[in-house]
Structure 1
Amino acid sequence: MNPEGTPAPGATRAPLHLVDASLYVFRAWHSMPDEFRDAHGWPTNAVHGFARFLLELLERERPRHIAIAFDEALDSCFRNRLYPAYKANRDPAPEELRRQFAHCKALCAALGLAVLADHDYEADDLIGSALHRARPAGYRGIIVSADKDLSQLLGEHDEQWDFARGQRWGAAGVKARHGVHAHQIADYLALTGDAVDNIPGIGGVGAKTAAVLLAHFGSLDALLEQVDEVAFLRLRGAAQVAARLREQREHALLWRQLTTIACDVPLPYDGPAATRAEADPEMLEALADTLRFGPMTRRRLRTAAGLDSGAGEAPPVPLPA
């Protein structure tokens, strides 16, 4: 359902859930109390928080097609080769957190979920590539993330889902949230910059100015081709904005390379969509022991994995025709 309570466009298409896992791991790392420890004494608060999120998602949606994307390319991404300062403002993850990322990946694999991770590409690129492969085969994407960068992937039938806030929106809802259309998000971020990723943007161009420019010109390419017209727009400091766009043209194009999600990344599964596989009960049990999950979490994991029949459990979701 969309926020108005009516079926989302393309709701009859088979859904492919694409989860931006790192967002939820980091959120758990910062919000969960540091009282959970594994069998070796290492912290497991992020794993416990991520497991709660994952179980709630699986219990609520019962997805047949799902992929969980992790960021491994924190300093080895192709974007770092284009711009060495990309994300250089971020401190390296401590060993206590890196170990928990490995546990989160293992937990997903034990549940039969496709795990996407690559040293050259970010989670956004893996999600974009999975959606790009699945869409022609009749799937619609449900991107589980609050990250505005991912809104550029939304097509007519897709949705983005801020799971923590319980908010969903499609391509048509992006403008109300960010001031530009879904297909303009990469251009918008190239103009405004993105402090989280250490992308400077164009000096003096803020969110409102970028939205006005893209509303008038449609794209960054058209804006740069017709930059002489900018000075005549009803825009505060229009002449100065035009001058900066001329001076920083090559930078703008570089920033757009950084903000554009790659959709041609090789994926580790066959077929158009990531079909959920059978769970690995031995691996699941070993992880539960190592991570010292309580009996409630263990039961939920086994039920989610199809190893126990839960009372009132919904019937299995059939494969799409």
Structure 2
Amino acid sequence: MPRVVLSAFPMIDPETYREVLADAVDEPVDIEVAELGSTERLIEAATGADAVVTDINTPVTEEALDATDLRVVVRSAVGVDNVDVAAAAERGVTVTRVPDYCTDEVATHSVSLLFACLRSLKPYDDAVAGGGWSWETGRPIRRVSASTIGLLSFGPIARRAAEQLSGFDADLVAYDPFVDGDEMAEYGVEKVGFETLFDRADHVGVYAPLTDATRGLVDADALARLSEDSIVVNVSRGPVVDADALLDALAADEIKAAGLDVLAEEPPEGDPLVGRDDTVVTPHAAWYSEEARDDLNRSGAADVADVLNGETPDGRVDPDADWL
């Protein structure tokens, strides 16, 4: 009997996996739920299993792959930065992800964070709750139609954000070495270089996956190119932005604010970016809607079923992909 281990993570719904696998696999499938969160727990839970459906907090390392006989690792998310994809490929283990389940949600969340910061919603709300009633609390606020918004990476989420932003008459520029200018132009976006993005943009949205090349990509030098009215939004992965550099830029009033759905450590413990007047921080929730959660689990379960049935899953991660 095939055995599938699911992380006891709120995003992962065991009932959906049971439903999909019962319909898609001819033989009974043993589904277990386990607390993961570390290599040691993963090895303990997945020894003897055919598949594991993992979360953001569980590193799937070479050690874990050697200690188990997994056929497939499902990363229940868009990113696979906690999975050693190359090591899995060397051992014949399929890695899958769900790349499109929350495109609209994350794009909408990024635009929401941008406008929450741009319109000083947090300072206004705090001031009114404390008995204040002055428009000056939120100064300075700049007109969005007079601004340039930069998109760091131009995958599906950034493209959807560009579509959403197109109605606000702002200029849109993007940096992505893997997307050509003609493709960006279809969305009304101008392709620019990395430094030019920060030179020209009034506000920057970070959508890049976390890789060796993007870790710390938004550093002190990049932030120094922005103006004192600039806003940085990050809905990708926390380490893409140098947290110390971002804190320094905020503390020195070198940029106006930051909207963050991701942090270097999640959940945060004493993170100085949390609780500031000039930050809006949400708990890695940009992906969430009830529809997105259902799509996530059904797609992940379908990938498990495909591997158990000897087929290539739709969500398979190409170990030779440029963005890894």
Q: Which has the higher helix share?
A: 1
TM-score, structure 2 length as denominator? 0.26
Q: Which has the higher strand share?
A: 2
TM-score, structure 1 length as denominator? 0.27
